[in-house]
Amino acid sequence: MNKLLTLAAACTLALGFTACEDVPSPYGLPTEKQQPNRNDVKDVLLEETFASSFGSFKNYTTSGDGAWKIDFKTAKASGYDNAAKKTTAGTYYLVSSEVDLTGVENAYVTLDYILRYNKGDENQQLLIADHFDPAHPDQGWTVLNQKWTEGSDWKTFANEKIAVPAAFLGKKVYIAFRYNTDDKSGSTWEIKNLKVLRGVVTPSTPEQPVTPGNGIFIDESFAASLGAFTSQTTSGEGAWKIDFKSAKASGYDNASKKTTAGTYYLVSPEVDLTAAKTEGAHVALEYILRYNKADANQQLLITDAYNPAQPEAGWTVLNQQWTEGKDWKTYTAANYDIPEAFVGKKVRIAFRYNSDDKSGSTWQIKNVKLALGHLDRPVQPTPTPTPDPKPAPAPTGDNLLSNAGFENWDGAAPAVWKSSIGNATLSQSTTAHGGQYAVKVTGDAKVNKRLSYAELNLKAGTYTFTYYVYGAEANAHLKTGYAIMTDHKVADFTNDYIYSGSTTVTQGAWSLVTYTFKLDRPKTICLLVMNQKGGGAFLVDDAQLTTTNGGLQ
């Protein structure tokens, strides 16, 4: 009997020790450091396969017709109806439920997709927001990605991984897929196996900086899409959008007669300015700005340290003073040199717009170019020319120019030596090569200055432009050339300014400058003498334009 009791006690003790070993925290030993249970850390923050339903996602159609639907075990968006052979315009969002990123230090979105017949990158966007209003499903979003690989068939899915910006980590967020099409032709976008995961992702194919083709790094008309630019909303609501064949920013909604506060950036792709070390580079654009409330609300920016997670940081202002427009048809042309501090580096430019909730401006931009070479400060549109109150004498002999000796003056400028692109400060000088007067062309430390003859309508042919120049100050340099004019302005800043190489002007002495050029067809031009930035003043006198096979039209 005693043996049986002893055996039972031993079994009880053995089971007791085993149970103690299996007791989970907090019943461990007091001196033992408690470790978190790895299973309590949730790596998958959101997951939808879209194999048979939208799950926690919901469709919102904000304009036109159409909607996201489940097809071929994917979430599919397409404006094209294969049965009817018809495309229907529409914009629709597929919006997630709330995703809790509280306590999450790093996260990324991964998905599989097929995209075909892409008509514009901004038509297929992955978005994120830290607040979502179902009554305004198109507002408040930040673009995570709109660069997708074009598919070659309907079977092969591409995979994409996109990091969640730091600005959204630690918050409760929403993600969405935005699809847009017009009524002419649109893409088809199929998405499956979407996940939001905890962790860090390294892009498999880093963005390559843009290199110049024919001297042009960026050439975006914004006629139908934002092209390679992306809109980033950093506060409030709103975004850059395509309207009236331009990139448009406005806090004002004409339909609701309401202004919504917001700050948004239109950011270019990265551009490698290594090729600009010797020639420099410039930005040219056309714009309409109306109802400006403050210059700082509309800025052209540049940076060599862009961070998508903080799109508002690190910018340098290139310009924020714009001409107020008088109507919605007349665009103002502008161009700005890239500062030397950015030449030779990889940079981005951006247009920053800001509005409060009381009143804001409307800013429309088109024909943006970033190209090699230096150009001058804004070129303003020319009003309808008015007759010269003091007409200069008509050209004489073989010389196609009137007032070639600068003897006739209209106020502070020599008669007929003025045009929409002449921006130099001119004055009358009695140090003349011939006759009584010459014209003094004053330089500028930061900007090229141009003496321009009035518009000439010339036939095809070869022409020789000559004049005498005198260095009134030290360190004067000039270029000779012409500009091709369209409707009294330069239409193409990159190709329509034609110049010779640089000439050093001898101080205190007259010297002859000769420039020969050929027109392959009839053109309207303005002859130019450029005082290069940083140079001293010089005098010009006794100009001639001659030809053996051309002439005035």
Q: Tokens 């914009």 appear where? A: 91
Closest CA to 262 of 240, 243, 245: 240
Q: How confident is the model at residue 169 (pLDDT cuts 50, 70, 90)?
A: very high
Instruction: Indicate the range of 4-13, 253-262, 405-414 predicted with least confidence.
Output: 4-13
Angle at 526 between CA 221 and CA 276, to 5 degrees: 50
Is 34 within the bounds of a domain? no
Q: 263 versus 12: which is more confidently predicted? A: 263
Question: Which residue range forms the structural domain that includes residue 108?
Answer: 40-203
Same domain, 374 and 421: no
In a domain, 326, yes or no: yes
Give 492-520 pLDDT, tens digit per residue.
777 889 999 999 999 999 999 999 999 99
pLDDT of residue 381: 40
Contact, 215 vs 284, CB < 8 A? Answer: no
Distance CA 527, CA 507 (A): 24
Whether residues 364 and 459 share a domain: the answer is no
Residue 276: which pLDDT band, with cuts at 50, 70 and 90? confident
| Predicted confidence (pLDDT) per residue in 186-230, tens digit | 899 999 999 999 998 765 444 555 555 557 889 999 988 888 898
pLDDT of residue 13: 43
Closest CA relative to residue 452, chosen from 545, 396, 508, 527: 527
pLDDT for the residue numbered 14:
43
pLDDT tens, position by position, 124-150: 999 999 999 999 999 989 989 988 988
Let me know whether 531 and 437 are in one domain.
yes
Look at residue 487 in the predicted model and tell me its pLDDT.
Answer: 79
Is residue 424 within 8 A of residue 449, CB to CB? The reply is yes
Distance CA 232, CA 144 (A): 9
Q: Which of 157, 176, 203 is the last residue of a domain?
A: 203
Residue 153 has pLDDT above 60, yes or no: yes
- Write down the pLDDT at residue 75: 97
Closest to 473 measured CA to CA, from 446, 433, 445 = 445
Burial of 29 (0-12, 13-18, 19+ CB in 10 A): exposed
CATH code of 539's domain: 2.60.120.200
pLDDT band with cut points at 50, 70 and 90 for residue 34: very low
Whether residue 286 contacts residue 366, with contact meaning beta carbons closer than 8 Å, is answered with yes
pLDDT (average), residues 249-263: 90
Given 173, 203, 233, the domain boundary residue is 203
Beta bridge partners of 174: 129
Q: Among 203, 234, 256, which residue terminates a domain? A: 203
What is the pLDDT, as a whole number, of residue 35?
42
Res 233 pLDDT > 60: yes
Q: Is residue 173 domain-shared with residue 112, that is, in the same domain? A: yes
234 & 377 share domain: yes
Residue 51 sits in the same domain as residue 186: yes
- 219 and 365 part of one domain: yes
Taking residues 343-348, report their average pLDDT. Answer: 92
Whether 401 is in a domain gets the answer no
Lowest mean pLDDT among 4-13, 438-447, 507-516: 4-13
Pair (241, 322) in one structural domain:
yes
In a domain, 75, yes or no: yes
Percent of the chain with pLDDT strictly greater than 70: 86
| Distances from the Cα of 397 to the Cα of 438, 479, 512, 545, angstroms | 21, 27, 20, 11
Sign of CA dihedral 434, 439, 443, 447: negative
Residue 484 lies in a domain: yes
Distance separating alpha carbons of residues 240 and 225, to the nearest angstrom: 11
Q: How confident is the model at residue 280 (pLDDT cuts 50, 70, 90)?
A: confident
Residue 94 falls inside a structural domain: yes
The structural domain count of the chain equals: 3
**415 and 314 share a domain?**
no
Higher per-residue confidence, 201 vs 54? 54
446 or 63, greater pLDDT: 63
Q: Is the dihedral of CA 396, 400, 405, 409 positive or negative?
A: positive
Confidence band, pLDDT 50/70/90 cuts, at residue 167: confident
pLDDT at 213: 53
One domain, residues 229 and 94: no
Q: What is the mean pLDDT of the chain?
A: 85
Query: 127 has which bridge partners?
Result: 143, 176
> Does 140 lie in the same domain as 71?
yes
Name the token pair of 368.
């943006």
Residue 98 in any domain: the answer is yes
* b (16+ CB within 10 A) / e for 146-183: bebeebeeeeeeeebbbbbbebbbebebbbbbbbbbbe
Judgement on whether residues 351 and 254 belong to the same structural domain of the protein? yes
Residue 320 belongs to some domain of the structure: yes
Extract the tokens encoding 283: 């930005």
